[in-house]
Amino acid sequence: MEYLKLNNDVEMPIEGLGTFLMTPAEAEAAATAALAAGYEHIDTANAYMNERAVGRAIAKSGVARSRVFVSTKLWPSVYEAGMPAVDATLARLGLDYVDMLILHQPVGDYLAAWRTMEEAYRAGKVRALGLSNFPQDKIAEVIEASEVKPQLVTVECHPYHAQCDLRAYLAPYGTVIEAWYPLGHGDKGLLEEPVFVALAKKYGKTSAQVILRWHVQMGTSIIPGSKNPAHIADNADIFDFALTDDEMARIAQLDGTKSYYEQTDEALAGYLAMCPDFDAQE
């Protein structure tokens, strides 16, 4: 495993398991397989409705808590709830603290939520703070209003959409980009790009492993999701080779090809209206 040093000196494993769209049973099984395969980072969220399942997997894994970096996200419906929202999240996970707490969507009173997260950070309930799906103007708003600057911003990121402008903006703050859709949402066209096919053959890897290695060398945190134990293990088998500068430059030529996610006002309004009962999860 390789690690990223965040802007508060916390070390974060550069790769983790994402549990988006997994049922509790699927998330528990996947997290169990990931921890057995040597993963040190598991990502979940209030809205995934599988925090309890991830907590169970960590508890039964036998891996020391200090060796598991746990990320979760607050949903907009609890942004104004204050510290009880953080405490409820910890209770569902069965943990005294989380390593990364993230605001999930840029809607609602996210500045109030950020102040709550700063309070949780100072209280030792959270080791690092992040933003998810925030566009650059709203990231700037949080940075301007904050005492604790974001350690991480998680956004769509892959070779077709490398987020170069956002990287340049965040660099002075030492804020890390984390990629969801690191493999382009499993886009067959991305996986079959000639550059990845050729590099996979050269290094004896799969195209997916080459893409994940590209992310690592870009300094991007990655949280690929899989329910298949073999795929989970394969996704972590990326630390025994390195792409050359020329190969990284060839991959860079794909940037700007496409993105898969468009944030709309309608979608944000829908997120704000969603008020799940997070404690109802299994």
What positions carry a catalytic annotation?
Answer: 48
**CA separation for the pair 114, 117 (Å, rounded):** 5
CA distances from residue 220 to 18, 67, 260 in whole angstroms, order as listed:
14, 20, 18
CA distances from residue 65 to 42, 120, 165, 253, 276 in whole angstroms, order as listed:
12, 19, 36, 41, 28
**CA separation for the pair 70, 55 (Å, rounded):** 9
* DSSP assigned state of 98: B
**Angle at alpha carbon of residue 37, lines to 34 and 43, rounded to 5°:** 25
**CA separation for the pair 192, 25 (Å, rounded):** 32
**CA separation for the pair 68, 60 (Å, rounded):** 12
